[in-house]
Chains A and B, each alone.
Chain A
Amino acid sequence: MSSETDREEMDMLAAEYALRLLEGEDLARANALMNSDQDFVRAVEGWTMRLTSLAEDLAPVDPAPSVKRALMRRMFPAMQPTKSFWDRVGPWLGVATAASVALAAALAWQVFSVSVRSPGPLYTAEIASDTNDFRVVAVVDKTANEVFLTRTAGAAPEGRILQVWAHGEGAPAQSVGLWPEGASVRLVLPPEIAAVEGTLTLGVSEEPPGGSPTDAPTGRVFGTADIPNVSVN
């Protein structure tokens, strides 16, 4: 694909794909290119961005207020009973190796044994990406209000670091701290996070060195884990 005509043909196919005009063989060809050709992907992305301005000129139309209520109810059923810890952990226990279960137990024990002063609860959770290329075991120690995290699979891409985030139910997410290197990190929970009661959500993202330049993740969020029934020590 080097001649001018081929490039031209490629770019037109990308535009047609972005417009969703293609059918049959042409669509199959474009779908295959989407999976194999980065130049084609970029061309589709470029056309998608250009064509969006056709929609940007549309005057906004407010949907009925009941639509937002219905959506929020559908997505975050307020009265939904909190899932139990084991329901939550179940899915990953099914695929996790015995070793990683043992690791979580060992980490919990380690954390537990160093914090001998009036021991508060310990909570463990695993943050795993959808594709399982990244996994972190987290132990929240309510005695010291610290979280201890260990990577069991994957790492930040070259030249990037990890950042840990947390929030309570319905509360804004905030940074817990940076994880620039190493297989484990111990971070002190910020006061707002230490005060969370009920479901505590932890997440890990990859960010530029120095952390996210904003107060939210800017890179890939590998995954999150909800720890239900957290109580303040």
Chain B
Amino acid sequence: MLFNHEERRIILENNEIETLIGRLALGDTAAFGRLYDLTSGKLFAVCLRVLGQRASAEDAMQDSFVKIWKNADRYRVNGYSPMSWLITIARNTAIDRLRATRPETDLGRYVEFLPAAGLNPEQSAVAASEAARLADCFAELEEDSRAAITGAYLQGDSYKDLSARFGVPLNTMRTWLRRGLMSLRECMSR
């Protein structure tokens, strides 16, 4: 596989992050400090986007780093997704915090960490290259689908929240959103 300059930069940065996660699993506190310096800006941005308030976003980010430290041994090096693993933890932690403030929502247990040994390196490469096209594909979506998917991803909206926000029945909301996801997948695999 040949890589352009940007791809090479991302691969090098991913390698450093993967190496640091590997060291975390050994209890290496110096590696933890370095990982924080490299990634806290991004993880804080994710928490802030979900929670909308600095104070609770800072708490969520701290909790995320505690989870990262404790679960580093579950991470499997595949060369593609260390940021996606970290971002997923931060997003889920922030959403949990958001939903905990709404006592009426019972969204049940969620498998927080993906079981190990999922994607092999080739599958990861495919997913990574698809992800690289997401921005363009996203721009092709209809406005409503786009807003719904972003709302779910970055604001932690459930179908119930979305159907209230868009003023449509829940099933209609689900059909819309699924249609958006399908076109997204179709476009990314092109």
Selecting from A117-125, A145-153, A184-192, A219-227, the interface stretch reads A219-227
A231 CB → nearest B CB, Å: 20
Residues of A within 8 A of B46 (CB): 55, 58
The residue from A57, A72, A171, A216 contacting B22, defined by CB atoms under 8 A apart: A216
**Contact: B25 with A217, CB < 8 Å?**
yes
B55 CB → nearest A CB, Å: 10
Residues of B within 8 A of A169 (CB): 29
| Chain A positions 96-150 with a Cβ under 8 Å from a chain B Cβ | none
**Contact: B73 with A62, CB < 8 Å?**
no
Residues of B within 8 A of A224 (CB): 25-27
Proximity string of chain A (50-64) to chain B, C-beta cutoff 8 Å, 1 when within and 0 when not: 111111111111111
**Contact: B124 with A220, CB < 8 Å?**
no
Proximity string of chain B (155-190) to chain A, C-beta cutoff 8 Å, 1 when within and 0 when not: 011111010000000000000011001101100100
For the complex, what is the distance from the CA of A62 to the CA of B39, rounded to whole Å?
10
Residues of A at under 8 Å CB distance from B? 8, 11-12, 15-16, 19-24, 27-28, 31, 34-35, 38, 41-42, 44-46, 48-64, 67-68, 70-72, 74-76, 165, 167, 169-173, 201, 203, 205, 212, 214-224, 226
**Contact: B41 with A61, CB < 8 Å?**
yes
**Contact: B26 with A173, CB < 8 Å?**
yes
For the complex, what is the distance from the CA of A16 to the CA of B124, rounded to whole Å?
20
Residues of A within 8 A of B44 (CB): 60-63
**Contact: B114 with A44, CB < 8 Å?**
yes
For the complex, what is the distance from the CA of A212 to the CA of B26, rounded to whole Å?
14
**Contact: A42 with B158, CB < 8 Å?**
no
7 pairs, A vs B, C-beta closer than 8 Å: A15-B185, A20-B95, A23-B106, A61-B45, A63-B41, A173-B28, A223-B73
Residues of B within 8 A of A21 (CB): 152, 157-159, 162, 177
Give 9 closest A-B pairs by Cβ, nearest first.
Answer: A60-B41, A216-B22, A221-B25, A52-B84, A218-B77, A49-B127, A217-B22, A173-B28, A173-B26
Given contacts A53-B134, A68-B36, A71-B36, whether A170 and B29 have CB atoms under 8 Å apart is yes
**Contact: A56 with B87, CB < 8 Å?**
yes
For the complex, what is the distance from the CA of A170 to the CA of B32, rounded to whole Å?
10
Residues of A within 8 A of B178 (CB): 12, 15-16
Residues of A within 8 A of B92 (CB): 20
**Contact: B41 with A62, CB < 8 Å?**
yes
Residues of A within 8 A of B83 (CB): 52, 56
**Contact: A45 with B114, CB < 8 Å?**
yes
